[in-house]
Structure 1
Amino acid sequence: MARPASLSLFINSSHHTVLNHLSLSSTVSAAVSLLHTQQAHAHLLKTGLSSYAHLSTKLISHYANALHFPDACRVLDSVPEPNVYSYTTLISACSKHGQYNHTLSLLQEMLFHGLLPDNFVIPSVLKACTGLLDLGIGRRVHGLASVTGFALDSFVNSSLVHMYVKFGRMWEAHKVFDEMEQRNVVSWSAMISGYSRQGYVEEAKKLFDEMRSSGVEPNAVSWNGLIVGFNHKGLFLESMVVFRDMHLEGFKPDGTSISSVLAAAGDLEDLEIGIQVHGLVIKQGLGLDNCVISALIDMYGKCRLASEMMKVFDEMVQKDLCSCNALISGLSRNGHADDALQVFRQFKAQGMELNVVSWTSVIACCTQHGKDIEALELFREMQIAGVVPNSVTIPCLLPACANVAALVQGKAAHCFSLRRGISCDVYVGSALIDMYAKCGRIEDAKCCFDRMPTRNLVCWNAIVGGYAMQGKAKEAIELFDLIQKKGQKPDFISFTCVLSACSQNGLVKEGQAYFKSMTQEHQIEARMEHYACMVTLLSRAGLLDEAYTMINEMPSEPDSCVWGALLSSCRVYGSVSLGEIAAQQLFKLEPTNAGNYVLLSNIYATKGMWNEVDKVRDAMKRLGLKKNPGCSWIEIKNKVHTLLAGDKSHPQMAQVVEVLNKLRFEMKKSGYHPDTKFVLQDVEEQEKENILCGHSEKLAVVLGLLNTPPRTPLRVIKNLRICGDCHAMIKFISSFEKREIFVRDTNRFHHFKEGSCSCGDYCGRE
């Protein structure tokens, strides 16, 4: 490559020309600057001028500015007697560009050479301590500043205040702040922001007034410190009040303050304030600020105004990633899952650089709205796209794995979280516990729980709920009691889990005792879910009258869960009168829920009341309601198969039917006869047997038998409760095929092994 003319002059010049050239080279582009620096370095070595500290310092500065830190360090190492300025240049550059560990190493080296940091070095080192979240070293640096006398320097003082504020150590920050001889608006604003972020409303406001009293006028940063701080702490109303005061006093809000107050309005679902701030955005010409527009989209989404959200997005001149993410999240929040997925696909097709937030938002959207297969597919696409999931993505994905018993994919997510070092995160850990429990692997769930270094109440509730779903009431109760022994206070979810455990095993006295202690000892007001658990407990134990009495004595109007629990048990026990009462209440509360009509119809059918059955079916036709078909899922070779009751579309259905008929023949030989009372249709007996064979859980189990090695456990998920005939048949299959079979219905897990079920047939009759 031809040598630049300026470089030729440089090589033949004195060291004064070297300095001039290095100074001029800083204005050149990065590539040329690095080239000139390297050639200058070579010339210094050739001429023996590298021993001059001031020349080496200049060289270090240029290497650091070009982000070539190893070369800068080599130059520094070659200086026989480096001075403070040699280190100052490199330490400042490393800290500025996030090389925090390197910054601290250089400080240690500097001290080794007997050089004390000055008022330029100390702020850079304090910034590194903050970046590394190392308060201990920060305090030692503070002590070093005190010893050297630089703790009185305003720049150092300000850096100390910022460091302690970032760590939330407000009393230490305030101590430094009180010792400052000169307090500028920056240090005042840092203290105000720190107190507001910690939620100390009165202290923050008091400091704000003191700042004004001292003659320092607040600027936009001061106001924003209060607004953003309160909003960060969840003090949304206080944030909005400060914004109002700022506006009334004539201070012009900027994009930061407006974005924060829009977020507060959204969280409070205060549409009126949100619209007013939108007007201010238009008036001040902030419509081109993408952060503000994203906040507007988010606000309208939280206020359930999807049309306005879409309008704001469509009017954007330059759509950015933040606004796209806000739109996906808003559509999801408003129940428009299909639209959110479609918008995401459009962004992806347009070549937009989607980030982890984009992918996580759409995965969460699918999981929350029953699109579990789509969520699993999106996670696979995310990894192919090279986007690395984080500690938020995994808890959003794992419920989808749990919902369709995608154990293999759940395990893969677990392995990923282990490799990324996020498995110890309490939210990831809780989601893993829940996933393994819902996939029938309660031992793995307990293993995840035991390995967590810290556990919050969410983790405890997840494992108690997992044992409850498995029908392991004893273990659930032991863990519930252990919550309190470990110093945790159970909440309403904890009691829901333990009451559910009692209801699964018919532990009436225990359930009643826990329900009583919840209100009397723990002062937790009973919610609908607690009453639903109690009604389920009583009615499933055959105590229908007691359950109905409890409903009538409830302090508030029972909801559909409570009446639904009673109706379900009325079907089990054939109680027509109470079933009709429960059904009529449900028809008012959920007029479009076909399941309630089906349950009442089933009660009539079990009693042979076919005229009443026809009346219910006619009512469903008039309302345009259809029975939800039974649906089951089974994971085979990393793929989740979906089977519908009576469906013939699966490519292996002919084989499934053939094996099912053989099994039915073997069952009859052993004395089993199909329990046709579970076919609630007025048809011939043979037709009833054929209908029973088409139940989705039977189809899923046989599909598993066909496609997995002998003795391999099978895991099936069903969207409805398992019927008694399917329960009896799967018990037989578990013995005949020597298989462990796990079936999770809407109520609980059934673990079939050697001809028995973990529910002790307590649920099989349903």
Structure 2
Amino acid sequence: MACSALPSPPIHQQLNPPPPTPTHPQLLTLLKSPKTPTQLKTLHAHLIKTSLTHNHLFQGQLLLCCNLSNSPAYARRVFDTVPNPTQFFYNAMIKCYSENDHHKEAIELYGQMRSCSVNCDSFTFPVVLRSVGSLRWRGIGEEVHGYVVKMGFGGLVIANTALIDMYCCCGMWSVGRQVFDRIGERVKDVICWNTMIAGYVKNGNFLSAKELFDEMPERNVSSWNTVVDMYGKCGDVGMARRLFDEMPARDVISWNAMISGYVHGGRFSDALELFRMMQGSDVKPNEVTVVAVLPACGHLGALDLGQWIHSYIKRNRVKMDVYVDTALIDMYGKCGSVEDARGVFDNAEMKDTFLCSTMIEVLAMHGKAEEAFGVFNYMRRTGIRPSNITFVGLLKACSHVGLVDIGVEYFGMMSKDFELVPKVEHYGCLVDLLGRAGHLEKAYETIKSMPMEPHPIVWGTLLSACRIHCNVKLAEEVALHLIELEPQNCGHYVLLSNIYSKAGKWNEAAKLRKIMKEKGVMKKPGCSSIEVDHSVYEFFAGDCIHPRRKEIYEMLDKIITRLKSEGYSPKTSSALHDVDIDEKEQALLYHSEKLAAAFGLLNSNHKTPIRIVKNLRICDDCHVFMKMVSKYFGRSLIIRDCNRFHHFKDGSCSCCDYW
């Protein structure tokens, strides 16, 4: 009798056969690379199914895989299943905690290891000391130090290097130096030297850091990076650049440190130029690079370059984490492209407090209060806890559109709903909100009732409100107080001079200018920048050194002639001197933003907006001028002054003349 045929497997198994069961060597290889939580559970299930959880090799490798996968909670569940864990398991679990910033748990497990009489070794102490340093737990650090010596590891350079780092993290750099000096010169390696130098830098002891760097018998790229970063952070970018240029080799950290130094020092054009140089090197930018360079684009209003960097991120698959998304939102916002900022926000895979707060700040700068409130409501719906920064943005949004009642409600919500204590910047925003809306006495009372000493910026905010509402009496009182606090700050004198000029009090304005001259206080010159064809051009008020000044001034004359034919009359109240009308008009004509606008009309495509960044508040006359240019020359203009954005289109401004 013939044997009957075996039944065929189901059709889905024929089309999708199960993957082959991995061999033991293959399984060990799989456990040596990071896994998603689902993959981790699958591998763990396979170990249980094949009884390999009793094999210390596989179980230990699973613990290490959890560490690679940033899964300390899952690692602990695995650890707790190990009967009588050995030194290896404790070390692996402590390392997992420490490298995932669970430092308290790492130290607690070290205590359990000691109480269970499991011996520590040279792998245990460096990891434990790292966690001690991160928490700045000096007492425990000293106790661990004693145990290191007791166990006979005091002569090991790896243990001593960890002790140096721990003491420096705890602010005890002099003790760290004692440990460093006790190590034999032949034993010290470059990592030990670098750790001591970095320890000095952490504690602000830059002179000792440079002296030790100069003494090093051997340097690696990390040594150079530390001192370049140090000089960048302490503001000496010239020295940082000299050391950067001397480096025998550079890695991505070197470039990032130098770019960050330039941005930190306010040398934004140099930061962008260095980023361009990096493109021609053999080092590829990473996510840290773009987070460092994007603020430079934002400060200069270099939208084209910012968009290019965004494209570079996508093309080269630079890691798009929450820091990169936040930097992009901030850059687009400061460059005037709120639509691009919103696009990044909407597409961000992860949204945290800082990212949402940045989006609120951007929307506030552009006068989009309702959208800012919408982001805040999104935070509340999704459980993202607002911070002090969040409420600064919300209060600014209210201030820019005059929503006094809503702003006061948000101010009260901080302590009532979120247990956040208002800081000086929140009171400053509240004073600005009340002052802009004309509630000058309420704003003054708010300052006097502040629980902390009012910052000069808060008083300056009230003085600015006095200028808007022409309250000379209160302005004089506030300005005298400000000048007493900051006698060399030109802004206070200029604001009061503006108020006098606007009120026709020319004698008082002249006296104030005389006081400024006697005290050597110089007025900050108006400066505007504009990006054309990927290059940023700067203009100063009355600029007469620009290589194309002749055609720029000719263009400006044509604009003025056209606008006057359409009814433009210069607002000479914006001029600061008691001179004749012609001289006042001439002074107003050459404000930096007008020069930048003329340059933009000459050199940019008529379909693209003209984007200008100004260092001071835009004056009333320039505001009228820009509205009329947008109407009669058919161009959109986006101007960022020191307070907010103004979007000029078809003869109107997004601020609705409330700024």
Partner of 2:8 in structure 1? none
**Corresponding letter in the other structure for 1:718:** K
Maintained 8 Å contact 2:133/2:169: no
Aligned-residue identity in percent: 35
Report whether the alignment pairs 1:605 with 2:504: no
Q: Give, in angstroms, the shift of residue 509 of structure 1.
A: 1.3
Secondary structure of 2:287's counterpart equals: coil
Partner of 1:364 in structure 2? 260
Maintained 8 Å contact 2:529/2:539: yes
Q: Report which stretch shifted further, 137-146 or 439-448.
A: 137-146
Partner of 2:307 in structure 1? 411
Match of 1:276 among 147, 162, 175: 175
Report whether the alignment pairs 1:331 with 2:231: yes
Match of 1:490 among 361, 365, 386: 386
Q: Report which stretch shifted further, 667-676 or 177-186.
A: 177-186
Maintained 8 Å contact 2:272/2:293: yes
Report whether the alignment pairs 1:470 with 2:366: yes
Cα deviation code 1:57-91 (max 9, x no counterpart): xxxxxxxxxxxxxxxxxxxxxxxxxxxxxxxxxxx
Cα pair distance change 1:264/1:673, threshold 3 Å: farther
Cα pair distance change 1:242/1:506, threshold 3 Å: farther
**Corresponding letter in the other structure for 1:462:** T
- Root-mean-square deviation (CA, aligned residues, Å) is 2.8
Partner of 1:73 in structure 2? none
Maintained 8 Å contact 1:165/1:194: yes
Partner of 1:36 in structure 2? none
Q: Report which stretch shifted further, 665-674 or 747-756.
A: 665-674
Cα pair distance change 1:556/1:160, threshold 3 Å: same
Q: Distance in 1 between matches of 2:211 and 2:552?
A: 51
Q: Distance in 2 between matches of 1:181 and 1:457?
A: 42
Report whether the alignment pairs 1:153 with 2:55: yes
Partner of 2:583 in structure 1? 687
Match of 1:740 among 636, 639, 647: 636
Q: Give, in angstroms, the shift of residue 184 of structure 1.
A: 3.9
Cα pair distance change 1:542/1:178, threshold 3 Å: closer
Maintained 8 Å contact 1:697/1:726: yes
Match of 2:544 among 630, 648, 654: 648
Q: Give, in angstroms, the shift of residue 592 of structure 1.
A: 3.5
Cα pair distance change 1:731/1:214, threshold 3 Å: closer
Q: Distance in 1 between matches of 2:344 and 2:101?
A: 34
Cα deviation code 1:400-425 (max 9, x no counterpart): 11111111100000001112334642
Report whether the alignment pairs 1:126 with 2:126: no
Partner of 1:185 in structure 2? 87
Report whether the alignment pairs 1:526 with 2:422: yes
Cα deviation code 1:229-266 (max 9, x no counterpart): 4446x566577455544456464175555555555555
Cα pair distance change 1:182/1:236, threshold 3 Å: closer
Match of 2:128 among 203, 219, 226: 226
**Corresponding letter in the other structure for 2:399:** S
**Corresponding letter in the other structure for 2:332:** Y
**Corresponding letter in the other structure for 2:222:** C
Secondary structure of 1:354's counterpart equals: coil
The equivalences for 1:428-439 within 5 A come to 428-439=324-335
Match of 1:395 among 266, 291, 301: 291
Partner of 1:757 in structure 2? 653
Structure 2 gaps, min length 5 = 1-16
Cα deviation code 1:675-712 (max 9, x no counterpart): 11111123332121111111100000000001113343
Q: Give, in angstroms, the shift of residue 497 of structure 1.
A: 0.6
Q: Give, in angstroms, the shift of residue 210 of structure 1.
A: 4.4
Partner of 2:12 in structure 1? none
Partner of 1:573 in structure 2? 469
**Corresponding letter in the other structure for 2:177:** H
Question: How many pairs align?
Answer: 641
TM-score calculated relative to the size of structure 1? 0.78
Report whether the alignment pairs 1:500 with 2:396: yes
Cα pair distance change 1:353/1:739, threshold 3 Å: same
Maintained 8 Å contact 2:302/2:534: yes
Partner of 1:296 in structure 2? 196
**Corresponding letter in the other structure for 1:339:** M
Report whether the alignment pairs 1:516 with 2:412: yes
TM-score calculated relative to the size of structure 2? 0.90
Cα pair distance change 1:471/1:628, threshold 3 Å: same
Q: Distance in 2 between matches of 1:582 and 1:257?
A: 60
Q: Report which stretch shifted further, 745-754 or 684-693.
A: 684-693
The equivalences for 1:69-218 within 5 A come to 112=20, 117-118=23-24, 122-127=27-32, 131-167=33-69, 169-170=71-72, 173-174=75-76, 176-177=78-79, 180=82, 183-197=85-99, 204-218=106-120
Partner of 1:382 in structure 2? 278
Q: Give, in angstroms, the shift of residue 608 of structure 1.
A: 4.4
Q: Distance in 1 between matches of 2:76 and 2:373?
A: 48
Q: Give, in angstroms, the shift of residue 515 of structure 1.
A: 0.9
- Superposition misfits of 4+ residues, deviation over 6 angstroms: none
The equivalences for 1:19-30 within 5 A come to none
Q: Report which stretch shifted further, 640-649 or 613-622.
A: 613-622
Maintained 8 Å contact 2:129/2:166: no
Partner of 1:31 in structure 2? none
Q: Give, in angstroms, the shift of residue 380 of structure 1.
A: 0.5
Q: Distance in 2 between matches of 1:584 and 1:308?
A: 44
Match of 2:456 among 552, 560, 584: 560
Q: Distance in 2 between matches of 1:477 and 1:592?
A: 39
Cα pair distance change 1:214/1:749, threshold 3 Å: closer
Q: Give, in angstroms, the shift of residue 588 of structure 1.
A: 4.6
Q: Distance in 1 between matches of 2:518 and 2:220?
A: 48
Maintained 8 Å contact 1:258/1:277: no
Higher relative contact order (CA 8 A, sep 6+): 2
Q: Give, in angstroms, the shift of residue 536 of structure 1.
A: 0.8
Secondary structure of 2:451's counterpart equals: coil
Q: Distance in 2 between matches of 1:450 and 1:225?
A: 39
Q: Distance in 2 between matches of 1:645 and 1:253?
A: 66
Q: Give, in angstroms, the shift of residue 175 of structure 1.
A: 5.3
Report whether the alignment pairs 1:305 with 2:215: no
Maintained 8 Å contact 2:167/2:175: no
Maintained 8 Å contact 1:467/1:475: yes
**Corresponding letter in the other structure for 1:299:** G
Maintained 8 Å contact 2:297/2:303: yes
Cα pair distance change 1:592/1:490, threshold 3 Å: same
Cα deviation code 1:317-363 (max 9, x no counterpart): 2232112111122222222233323332333xxxx221111111111
Secondary structure of 1:717's counterpart equals: strand
Q: Give, in angstroms, the shift of residue 138 of structure 1.
A: 4.4
Q: Distance in 1 between matches of 2:217 and 2:111?
A: 41
Maintained 8 Å contact 1:423/1:429: no
Q: Give, in angstroms, the shift of residue 212 of structure 1.
A: 4.0
Cα pair distance change 1:236/1:566, threshold 3 Å: farther
Partner of 2:245 in structure 1? 345
Maintained 8 Å contact 1:236/1:264: no
Q: Distance in 2 between matches of 1:198 and 1:414?
A: 29
**Corresponding letter in the other structure for 2:230:** G
Secondary structure of 1:760's counterpart equals: coil
**Corresponding letter in the other structure for 1:161:** L
Larger Rg: 1
Maintained 8 Å contact 2:176/2:196: no
Q: Distance in 2 between matches of 1:154 and 1:274?
A: 41
Q: Give, in angstroms, the shift of residue 755 of structure 1.
A: 1.0
Q: Distance in 1 between matches of 2:158 and 2:26?
A: 31
Q: Give, in angstroms, the shift of residue 591 of structure 1.
A: 4.1
Secondary structure of 1:634's counterpart equals: strand
Maintained 8 Å contact 1:414/1:423: no
Q: Give, in angstroms, the shift of residue 174 of structure 1.
A: 4.7
